Amino acid sequence: MARRWIWVPAILGLQLLLISLIPCSSLQSRSPGEEISSQISVGQKIPDFNLFDMSVAFEYSFIHLDILLQNASKTVLIFYQGYWSSDCRRQFADLRAHFSEFQEKGAQIIGVSVDDPRRVDEFGRKIEKEYRVGAKQFTEGQPLKLPFRLAIDRNFKGVQTLGIGEEHPRYGLIARPTTILLDKQGTIHWLHIGKSAEDRPSADQILQLLASWS
C-alpha cells in the first residue's frame, strides 16, 4: 500500500503539468508571423462579395463591394481584426486624422471587420470622439459618426473569398490586418497582408502610394 501512495501524487502531478501545457500549445499552433495563402494578388480583379453597410448606424443592409467601388475613383479597403484590438484603434485614429487628405486624392476608405453591428458602431463613435476632442471640435450631445464607411463581413464571405482569415483563440475567425488599394473596376493596385497585429501601413504610407498611382 505504501508504494501505491508514493506514486499517485507523482502521476497526478505529471497529469496536471500536461493539462497546463495544452492551452499554451494550442495558442502557439499558428504563430503571428505564419505565412498566409491569400487568394488575391496585385493586378487581379478583386472578387465581389456582400458586406453589411454601416454607413448609417443600425440602418444597414447588404451591399455588393462592386457597387461601393463606384463611389470614388480610388478605394482604400481595410480589413481589421476587431473593436477589441488596440492596434486597430490606433490605425483608424490615424486614418481619421488624415481623412481630408484622402478626400483630396479622390479616395474613399472602407473599413471591414467581422464584428457585431453594435460593436462596429461603438468602435466608430469612439474613434470620432477621440478625434474631435483632440481637434477641440467636440460638443457634448453632438452625433458622432466617422466620415468614412465601416462595413461588416457578416457571413465571413469576404475573409474566406480573399483568403485572409485566421483563427483567434478568443474571438474565432477574424481577418488578418489587410490593406487593399482598388480602382473603380476592382483592380488591385496595391496589397498588404499583415504578418502580425502591428504589421500594417500608416495613413502617410497609403497616401504616398495613392499619390504615385496614376
Single out the residue of 164, 168, 188, 161 nearest to residue 176, CA to CA: 164
User: Domain range holding 86?
Assistant: 36-212
Task: Quote the pLDDT of residue 139.
Answer: 87
Please answer whether residues 118 and 83 qualify as being in contact, where contact means their C-beta atoms are separated by less than 8 angstroms. no
Mean of pLDDT values over 150-176: 93
pLDDT of residue 55: 66
Residue 12 belongs to some domain of the structure = no
- Its sign, for the CA torsion 202, 85, 30, 78, is negative
Q: By the 8 A CB rule, do 65 and 48 touch?
A: yes
Q: Within a domain: residue 186? A: yes
pLDDT at 41 over 70: yes
* CATH number reported for the structural domain that contains residue 140 in this entry: 3.40.30.10
pLDDT, tens only, 44-88: 999 999 999 876 544 557 889 999 999 999 999 999 999 999 999
DSSP per position, 144-212: ---SSEEEE-TTSHHHHHHT-EEEETTTEEEE--EEEEEETT-BEEEEEE-SSTT----HHHHHHHHHH
Rounded Cα distance, 195 and 189, in Å: 20
Instruction: Give the three cell numbers for residue 3.
Output: 508504494
In a domain, 6, yes or no: no
Q: Specify if 86 maps to a domain.
A: yes
* 19 in a structural domain: no
Q: Is residue 25 part of a domain?
A: no
Residue 74 lies in a domain: yes
Query: Is 26 contained in some domain?
Result: no
Rounded to two decimals, what is the model's pTM?
0.81
Instruction: Give pLDDT tens digits for 93-131.
Output: 999 999 999 999 999 999 999 999 999 999 999 999 999
**Per the structure, how many domains does the chain have?**
1
Place of cell 483632440: 134
Q: How many C-alpha atoms does 176 have within 13 Å on its Cβ side? A: 26
Distance (Å, whole) CA 181 – CA 200: 13
